[in-house]
Amino acid sequence: MRLTSTFAALMMTASSVFAQDTMTDAERTEFRAEVRAYLLENPEVLMEAIAVLENRQAQAELLRDDQLVATNINALVDDGFSYVGGNPDGDITIIEFTDYRCGFCRRAHPEVAELIETDGNIRIITKEFPILGEQSVIASQFAVATKIVAGDEA
């Protein structure tokens, strides 16, 4: 974040004063007025601060996602119900959540299939994720029943 030296010095001074809690009410009022004036004269500082905050929040979310996957990896890759295709010993595993009524899932399917076919080193695990209503649930149940009866090659 790019701050002018005046503002940085002001903030450092304020930090040390607030840490010691030695500022009088009049000094605190004056300090707040200075900060306000600076921010009004340099509003881009607020946008820079917001960008830093958004970046930190995105990084924290990615970390939480990674931790969630790590915590649940066994359930994700070996639940006994999900279709496993591609190379079962592949060094890359793709876990695909799908709803048979989802237009995005339907459009992505040919590209994912091509990727698996051309690479030869990808294992794909398909998770039933029926979120678009009763017909999605029925389609998902049909897929699981087919897998149980006919196996992954059906």
Q: What is the mean pLDDT of residues 44-60?
A: 94
Average predicted confidence (pLDDT) for the chain? 86
Mean pLDDT in residue range 11-37: 79
- Of residues 109 and 15, more confidence is placed in 109
CA 154 – CA 152 distance, rounded (Å): 6
Give pLDDT tens digits for 106-135: 899 999 999 999 998 999 999 989 999 999
Q: What is the pLDDT of residues 82-102, one digit of tens each?
A: 888 899 899 999 999 999 999
Q: All domains of the chain, ordered by start, with CATH? A: 5-65 (no CATH), 78-150 (3.40.30.10)
Burial class (CB in 10 A: 0-12, 13-18, 19+), 48: middle
pTM attached to this predicted model: 0.61
